[in-house]
Amino acid sequence: MEIIKWSKDLETGVEAFDEEHKVLIDTINQVYSLMREGKREEAKKILIEKVAAYADKHFKHEEEVMERYNYPKDRLEGHKKMHHFFVNYLIETLLPEIEKGNEKKFNEALNFIVGWLIMHIKNMDADGYGKWFREKGIEVPDKMVEI
Ligand SMILES: [Fe+2]
Ligand SMILES: [Fe+2]
């Protein structure tokens, strides 16, 4: 069962980031499947240990690359703020509730993650740095070794 489907409009054109986005989406779908199968404990574990940790690493990777290629400062700052908001909200607000066994919060967290991620990848990644890199003819060779 999938809660997010990959689509062309999520493509940034930066191979490394497209792959990382796909891993994030796959992992979220895994959480969703486990929830649907009633395996809530397993789903929580993956949400906490994989999704939150992976998102954080992925964001740092994007920020590092945007900085390296001189992405306009104001846009970079705005982008970083969005990443920061997401990680903070997830880690400081949603995850503690989930860990307390608050199931309603778990569903909320999953819906929030899906909604935010799709919007962010589309508007700030693909139509943001993706478009900018394409316009500038910049090819980002980066690959994440292990995440
Ligand atoms: Fe991203
Ligand atoms: Fe981003």
- Give the Å distance between the CA of 101 and the centre of ligand 1: 29
Average pLDDT, the chain: 89
50 CA from centroid of ligand 1 (Å):
15
What confidence score (pLDDT) does residue 145 get? 46
> Domains of the chain by range and CATH?
14-136 (1.20.120.50)
Name the nearest CA neighbour of 41 among 31, 29, 26.
Answer: 31
Residue 54's nearest CA partner among 26, 14, 82 is 26
Structure tokens at 26: 């796959």
> What's the gap in Å between 40 CA and the centre of ligand 2?
28
Residue 113's contacts (CB-CB under 8 Å, 6 or more residues apart) are 28, 51, 90
Q: Tens digit of pLDDT for each residue in 43-76?
A: 988 988 899 899 999 999 999 999 999 999 999 9
Tell me, in angstroms, the distance from the centre of ligand 2 to residue 100's CA: 29
98 Cα–ligand 1 center, Å: 24
Tell me the CA–centroid distance for residue 38 and ligand 1, in Å: 29
DSSP-assigned letter for residue 81: H
- Position 1 scores a pLDDT of 76
Q: How large a percentage of the chain has pLDDT more than 70?
A: 95
pLDDT, tens only, 99-124: 777 677 788 788 889 999 999 999 99
Q: How far apart are the CA of 125 and the centre of ligand 1, in A?
A: 6
Ligand 2 centre to CA of 37 (Å) is 31
For residues 94 and 145, the model is more confident at: 94
Measured between alpha carbons, how far is 120 from 113 in angstroms, rounded to an integer?
10
Residue with more model confidence, 76 or 36 = 76
Q: Ligand 1: distance of its center to the CA of 110 in Å?
A: 17
What DSSP line would sit under 111-143, residue for residue? HHHHHHHHHHIIIIIIIIIIHHHHHHT------
Sheet strands (E) in the chain: none
Q: What is the DSSP letter of 69?
A: T
Distance of CA 18 to the CA centre of its chain: 11
Q: What pLDDT was estimated at residue 144? A: 58
